Each structure stands twice: as C-alpha cells, then as structure tokens.
C-alpha cells in the first residue's frame, strides 16, 4: 500500500500509552489521533491507580469525552485488591489487560508487586477469560545483587519465562523492551508472548540521556548493541514485536530541572508525532517496509483487534515531506514537550 | 594519629582538581583549603587549554594570588603543540604532569586512541625528566563498536597497558577510575602506574545520575559492583590508589536545567567538603583507618611529594561531629552547588 512518496497504514494502534488525568489528559488525549493512531492501549497507573472495573469504565468515559474517535483498550493495575471475580467482571465489561508494575521502578508504581505468586489465581482467571498480562519487566535496584537501571530488565527475564511456563495459554506482553536479552528471550518463547517496543528506544542509547533529562525514561535506553537488537527484530518483521509508545507526558519544568535533591520526571513523550516519527526511524535503519506490521497488523493480531472491512476508512496516509516538530504543545495552563522537538522528520501525516 | 572522635591527617593532597579561570576561579580556589587540602594537582583544560610552560606558570600565579597557602602542582594539556623541548623546559620550571583527554587525542586522526603514537617522543622526554602522564581513560562513543559512556573506560584499558609496556619508567596515572575492570588492570601493572579515585564515585551508581544532573559527571558512575571495587581497593589500602577529586564546578543553572536540545554540564563539585566527605564515605564502607593513606600518603609518595618535617604544621584535624552541607557557595555573582548539598556528614574540619 505504498508508492515511493506515500504510505497508507490501516488503523495504526499504540499498544502502550499514558493518557493521564484532568487537565493534562485534556491536552494529551487528542494527541493520539494527531499522531496518526486510532487505537490506544491505556495504562492504569493513575493516582489512585485503576484497580476496578468501575474505575476503568469511568476512565474510558473520560477519554471518550475528550476524543470519541479513538478506540480505548482499558487495563487494570495489578494489586492485592484484584480478585479472580474482578477479572471475570472486567473481562465481561470489555477490559483487555492487567498491568504489572514492580514496586518503585517507574511513575506511580509505589503500589507495585514484589512477588507474582500471590497473583497466580488472578493469572489463572485471566488465562480462562483471555485477558492479557502486561509486564513492566524490571526488578527494583539493589546494590547487593548489582541490580541497577541498566540490568533491571535482563534480571527480570527469568520471571517472564517462568510465568509463561506456568501459564502457557495466558497472553503476556513484555512492555517497552530495551535490551538484546529481552528480544532474544521473547523470541524464544511461545506465540502467547508478545513484546512492545517504543519509538524512542529505536533512537536513544545511554549517551543520549546522560545529562539530558528530556531523554530520560524508564526503562532507560541502554547500549548501542541493545538498540541494534530492537531495530533488527523490526527489520526482520517478527510478528510478536509491535509498537507500544510508552508515551508519557510530564510538565516541561518536571522534565527540565533537577534540584540538588530531586531528580527529573522519567518519561519521553511521543504521542503527537508518533506515526511520522516511527516511519522516520524505521526508514533510518532500513525497515520502512515493515512499518504497517509494526504499528498496526502485528499488535492488532496479537490482541485479536484485526482491522475489519468497516474500519478501513480509518487508514492513515503518510507523505514523504519534511516537517519540523513543534517545541511545545499547550492547552490552557498545561504544556508538554515532545521528543524530537525542533528537529526534522522526513514524513508527515496527510 | 586518631582517637575515637578526632583524626589528624598530614597535609591532605587532592591529585585532580579543576580550579577554572576568572570569577569562577576566585570562588572555587579558596575551597581547596576550605575542604581541608593543602595541595592541588591542577587540571589544564581551560579555554584556551594550558599547552605551554609560560601559560602554566601564569596560571599558577593567578591561583597563588587567590590563595597562597596551597601548593599548586601544574599540568600541561597534551596536544600537537607539545614538543620534547617544551617538556624539558616545563620540567625545569617545576611543572609536574601532562594530561591527556581523549577528544584532543582524536583530533588528528581517525584511529582514535591509536593516535598516541605521534606523542611517543613526548612521552620519551617525560620519562627522561620524570614528568607524569595523566590519562582521562575513556575512548569516544561509537555505536559501531558498541562504545558508550558505560564501557568507554574498560575499552580504554588496553591503551593504558600498552603505554605502560612501551614506557615502563614513565609514571602514568589513570584518572578518576570508575570500574572494577580499571581497578584490576591498574593493580596488575607495575609501580609506575597509579590511579586516582574521586569521592563521589565512592557514593554514586548509575541510578543516582539517571534524571539527576547534579550527579552527572564524566566518567559517569557505573554499576554497584564497580563502586564496590573502588571501595575494596581503598579498604585494602593499596598504595597506588589515591584521591583525585575531579571536583568540577559549574553554575547551578548549567547543572540543573536541560533543554529539549541541550544537555546539562558534566561535573560533580566536592572541593569545599572534600575531606569531611571522604572521611564520611570511607567510614561508611569500613575504610576509615585508610583515610590518611588515601588522601595524603599514597598520592604524595607516588608523586614524590612526601610530607617533610617542616610541613607537618599543615596537618588537618577532623572531628566526629555532624554538619549539614551548605546548599550554595557564592562570591559576588558566581555560585556553585556542592555534592551532598543539604545532607549531613558525620565529620567536620576543626
């Protein structure tokens, strides 16, 4: 579906995005479509986190009020309140997944989990009803085990493997993979295990966030060879690896400024430029022909959200035309700065 | 020379410090003694860099005008202008060392660190006259070789080894080591190879500078196991490992604030609290009994600057008394924020 200068993508789907609450949500939720996407898989790490079907449906209503033309797939936050009964109820209500955050590793994860075993009955119920388990795949830093932000993901991978072995029919997504080790592990597992990759991790390495907090996110970008592994698996068109932007807005002041005692907020924001950015990056490493698979087909197939005939009008057209990315996106008093601000992209949305 | 509550240290010596120029120098140079030190080994990376004997002596005069009670050991910046004749002249004038920075090394070749070869006649002359070669031991980042800020130091170590093999009598100091690999390599080499360790690298790991630019410096702090190796070699009292603070002041705004396109300045500033901080940290990992060796005896012996009887009045007394570190140090319009700002140290200078 492409000529040299135009690419049409059927219903791009972002399988990992943070749409926040309140005024910030009003600013960023419309950016899903602005970035070329018609489906948003919505993270539940609000304050308080989304732990019940009622909360998730209320949140979905809030998002639909902000932009009704996006399909929002909702998730619950894995926590002790979540029971097998709640899982069955959530599934009946159309909630798609459950997100697991290890305690303390990212924004609003203080309620995160320390051990998966207590949740086995929940996972059993999820496997029965066909809900998806979304894993933030990092273990907390611990000097005693030499664990830090650089190896937190590789050290998590045995947990992914053992969950898959114990629940082979449970669909599991390792979210925002950043390492060669993660790519290889996911590839080695069965068809029920998928993996999201962000756009920004296709561009960044550790050098880019050293002293540059606008590029600081969790998981942090790793070594050049890790970035290469992410690019390779997309270039080969592996159908279990698909886009989840992990687009995470923070006010510019929270991103820009550390104090001697407080760090900057973690998160890279890509929503308003997501499809052009992804096209630009895939082109840079020779994978433009895999764009539709990566941003639409593969993830939709994994989630059973294939594009049907009636949805084909939602396809999006990219044209090869340079644009400079806006420096600030604002709504009333809210502002966000996107990744690639002030830089050029080779592709534009029509 | 210690009781339970008091430690006396003979003439503490900081074998790697940045004293800058102009108004910033007027602010930070007196911090050498404020931090408990009576000797400063002064880095030459000014604008323009110190590449001649005349420049170095003029700079030394500037520093002595700011605080005459510190012994300043001067260095030259390794660059193509530096000739064997200039080395002999510098040595006669009392200049102690030559500092090599990787970027300077790469300007005249595409072979990166291989371009030490043009400097072999300079190193030969340095070996003859007894000058010290100070190495910033990192190679430039390069995605093609998976080189980034995390492995730039380990990948440099073969160059240290080959320089030592070729110039076995040349005293070489690997500056601000941050990795277990560096510690092991230096230990494996002969007595002409020393190694400085900063105070802040005894405290920080990569987690501490992730999103926290006040803790961002080059070389970056690495894994917990690397920090452990730095602590171990001090705990064992190895005489070729000694303090070089690499204390590097920047205006608070340059440290605090990234823009979407510009990173923060690299550098951690420790001068005004250096001896109490080092005592605090060594105590935290059971090496307080090695404090005098680490901050004075070992480095002085390596450089042939042993404390003589007449200098003993320059000894410094630490008392076990909690103090809170000042948040800002200022002189007229200049400001700097030190490491540990607002936090408590267990030791104070008398």
SS3 B299: helix
How many other C-beta atoms lie within 10 A of the C-beta of residue B140?
15
Contact assignment for A261 to B210 by CB distance below 8 Å:
no
**Contact call for B211 and A143, based on CB within 8 A:** no
Which of A205, A211, A266 shows the shortest C-beta gap to B264? A211
pLDDT tens, residue by residue, B267-280: 999 999 999 999 99
Are residues A264 and B212, on separate chains, in Cβ contact within 8 Å? yes
Whether residue B233 is predicted with pLDDT greater than 70 in this model: the reply is yes
DSSP character string of A112-160: -BS-SGGGHHHHHHHHHHTPEEEE---PPPBGGGTB-TTTHHHHHHHHH
Among A87-91, A105-109, B257-261, the range with the most confident prediction by mean pLDDT is A87-91
Q: Name every residue in B having a CB less than 8 A away from some CB of A.
A: 141-144, 146-151, 205-207, 209-214, 216, 220, 223-225, 227-228, 255-266, 327, 337, 341-343
Q: Do A148 and B224 touch (CB under 8 A)?
A: yes
Distance from CA of B145 to the nearest CA of A (A): 8
Query: Which among B148, B151, B213 has CB closest to A258?
Result: B213
pTM: 0.94
Q: Say what the pLDDT of residue B109 is.
A: 33
Average pLDDT over residues B132-136: 97
Taking CA atoms, what residue in B is nearest to A152? B207
Strand order in the sheet with B39-42: B13-17, B39-42, B71-73
What would the pLDDT profile of A236-281 be if each residue is shown by its tens digit?
Answer: 999 999 999 999 999 988 888 777 778 899 999 999 999 999 999 9
pLDDT, position A262: 82
CB contact under 8 A, A260 and B225: no
Please identify which residue in the block is written with the tokens 């924001």: A269
pLDDT given at position B346:
98
Least confident of A253-257, A322-326, B123-127, B205-209: A253-257
Split at pLDDT 50, 70, 90, the class of A289 is very high
Strand partners, A171: A132
Count of other CB atoms within 10 angstroms of residue B153: 25
Please check the confidence at residue B255 and state whether its pLDDT lies above 90. no
CB spacing of A210 vs B216 below 8 angstroms:
yes
**Which stretches of chain B are DSSP H helices?**
22-28, 31-34, 53-66, 84-92, 102-106, 120-129, 152-166, 180-188, 206-209, 224-235, 252-256, 274-284, 291-292, 298-303
In a mutagenesis test of the A interface, which of B141, B148, B180, B232 is the best target, namely the one with the most A β-carbons within 10 Å? B148
Query: Domain coordinates of chain A in residue numbers?
Result: 10-311
Specify whether the CB–CB gap between B120 and B81 falls below 8 A.
Answer: no
**Total CB pairs under 8 A between chain A and B:** 115
Residue of A nearest to B255 (CA): A258
Q: What pLDDT is attached to residue B259? A: 76
Q: What is the ipTM of this complex?
A: 0.93
Residue A47: band (very low, low, confident or very high) from pLDDT cuts 50, 70, 90: very high
Q: Which residue of A has its CA nearest to B228?
A: A143
pLDDT at A109: 63
Q: Report pLDDT for B106.
A: 39
Q: State CA A100 to chain mean position distance.
A: 13
DSSP assignment of B18-86 equals ---SHHHHHHHTTHHHHTT-SEEEE----SS---SHHHHHHHHHHHHHH-TTSEEEPEEE-STT--HHH
Task: Judge: domain B10-311, CATH 3.20.20.140.
Answer: yes
Q: With CB atoms and an 8 Å threshold, state whether A213 touches B211.
A: yes
Q: Which residues fall within 8 angstroms of residue B65, CB to CB, at 6 or more apart?
A: none
**Residue B214 is nearest to which of A150, A214, A258, comparing CB atoms?**
A258
- Is A257 within 8 Å of B260 when comparing Cβ atoms? no
pLDDT at residue A162 in the model:
94
Whether B228 sits inside 8 A of A143 (CB atoms) is: yes
Residue A205 confidence (pLDDT) above 70: yes
Q: Which residues of B touch A341 (CB under 8 A)?
A: 260-261
Pairwise pLDDT comparison (B261 vs A236), residue with the higher score:
A236
DSSP three-state, residue A170: coil
Reply yes or no on whether the pLDDT at B111 is more than 50.
no
Assign B110 a pLDDT band (cuts: 50, 70, 90): very low
* DSSP H or E stretch at residue A298: helix A298-303
CB–CB of B342 and A257 under 8 A? no
């Amino acid at each position: 579906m492409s000529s040299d200068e135009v690419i049409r993508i059927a219903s791009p789907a972002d399988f990992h995005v943070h749409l926040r609450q309140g005024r910030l949500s009003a600013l960023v939720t419309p950016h899903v479509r602005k970035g070329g996407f018609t489906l948003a898989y919505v993270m539940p790490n609000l304050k308080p986190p989304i732990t019940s079907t009622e909360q998730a449906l209320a949140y979905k209503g809030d998002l639909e009020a902000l932009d009704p033309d996006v399909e929002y797939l909702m998730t619950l936050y894995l926590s002790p309140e979540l029971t097998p009964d709640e899982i069955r109820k959530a599934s009946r209500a159309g909630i798609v997944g459950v997100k697991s955050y290890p305690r303390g590793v990212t924004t609003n994860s203080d309620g995160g989990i320390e051990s998966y075993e207590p949740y086995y009955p929940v996972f059993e119920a999820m496997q029965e009803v066909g809900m998806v388990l979304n894993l933030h795949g990092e273990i907390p830093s611990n000097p005693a085990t030499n664990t830090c932000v650089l190896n937190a993901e590789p050290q998590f991978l045995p947990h992914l493997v053992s969950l898959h072995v114990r629940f082979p029919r449970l669909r599991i997504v390792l979210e925002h993979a950043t390492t060669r080790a993660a790519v290889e592990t996911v590839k080695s597992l069965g068809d029920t295990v998928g993996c999201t990759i962000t756009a920004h991790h296709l561009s960044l390495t550790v050098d880019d966030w050293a002293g540059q907090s606008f590029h600081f996110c969790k998981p942090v970008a790793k070594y050049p060879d890790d970035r290469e592994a992410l690019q390779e698996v997309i270039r080969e068109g592996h159908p279990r690896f698909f886009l989840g932007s992990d687009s995470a807005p923070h006010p510019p002041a929270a991103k820009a400024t550390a104090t001697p005692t407080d760090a900057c907020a973690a998160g890279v924001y890509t929503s308003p430029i997501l499809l052009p950015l992804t096209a630009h990056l895939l082109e840079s490493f020779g994978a433009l022909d895999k764009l539709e698979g990566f941003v639409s087909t593969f993830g939709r197939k994994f989630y059973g959200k294939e594009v049907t005939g009636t949805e084909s009008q939602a396809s999006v057209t990219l044209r090869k035309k340079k644009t400079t990315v806006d420096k600030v996106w604002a709504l009333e008093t809210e502002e966000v700065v996107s990744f690639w601000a002030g830089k050029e992209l080779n592709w534009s949305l029509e």
